[in-house]
Amino acid sequence: MGRGLYRDFRSSNKACICLCLFSSGSSKGMGTSSNGRKQCVSTWPLETGLLVYVDDIILGGNSSETCAEFKAYLNSCFKIKDLGNLKYFLGIEVAWSTIGLFLNQCKFALDILKETGLTGCKPVDTPIEQNHRLGYANGSFHSDPNQYRRLVGRLLYLTITRPDITYVVHVLSQFVQQPRVEHSNGLVHVLRYLKGCPGQGILLNGENDMVLRGYYNADWASCLLTRKSVTGLYFQLGFSPILWRSKKQLTVSRSLAEAEYRDMAMATSEIVWLRRLLSELLTP
């Protein structure tokens, strides 16, 4: 038996469903009897996956009959509502096409603009000004720091489908403790950028060679406060983006070559983690 992830759902009849993976090429559902012992209730192909958040569930697989059987079993344990093909999940919109799946958070971005009163603002072409000096900001403090923190948090969630604002959110999140007017202006600049392209997202291409590709780069000593370098990472599975990150390095690098080596080490760690994750899913 391979490793598996168990998640319990308990109802009035003490029923419990878990999902685990087997190296034999099948996935088994486990139930809990009235005496608390686990028992096998059904068997599904390994290509069936279940994603759960509270009472929202995404079920996917390569066999519609298997998915229908699993949904029937779920409905026999608790009352569920089948909403059909995935269209909206936790603020993420899913558009189906012959090319693949397009994920975006257009409604979420428009809600942010509406909340801040910037629905009629003039769009800009870049998410952050070139050669910004936000680290040297010395203006007055923000009148409502809680609003600044809330907006940064919402932008952080928006980076799930918007790699293009990952860096600027990384920069603005460093000043959530005591934001200044310049930081607030930088936040408004991001929102004006979103106004110009609220429906932008990522495409999960249906034509996939399942080759893991990674790209990295280091911005040497770019942090004006600590002179630490910033690492940028981007990974694709086939032609579909799966991971991106902008993160400040832990120590100060004394040269660009040293910063690049640290960048390479971080990218290697991410590749090892992704390979292990794919092997857990038994992806060739």
Domain total in the chain: 3
Do residue 80 and residue 109 come from a single domain? no
Domain stop point among 35, 53, 84: 84
pLDDT tens-place string over residues 48-65: 778 888 888 888 877 788
Interhelix angle 181-196/106-116, rounded to 10 degrees, is 130
| Amino acid identity at 131 | N
How is residue 66 written in tokens? 């298997």
Is residue 233's pLDDT more than 70? yes
* Mean pLDDT computed over 158-168: 92
* pTM across the whole model: 0.76
Percent of the chain with pLDDT over 90: 27
**Domain assignment of residue 1, yes or no:** no
Residue with more model confidence, 70 or 109: 109
Cα 130 to the chain's mean position, in Å? 26
244-247, long-range: CB within 8 Å, 24+ apart, which pairs?
244/159, 244/163, 244/166, 245/166, 245/270, 246/166, 246/167, 246/169, 246/170, 247/170
**Domain assignment of residue 11, yes or no:** no
Local confidence band at 156 (pLDDT 50, 70, 90 cut-offs): very high
Do residue 114 and residue 69 come from a single domain? no
Q: Is 91 left (phi over 0), alpha (psi -120 to 50) or beta?
A: left
Q: Which range marks the domain in which residue 233 is found? A: 208-280
**Domain assignment of residue 75, yes or no:** yes
| Amino acid identity at 75 | N
* Mean pLDDT computed over 155-180: 91
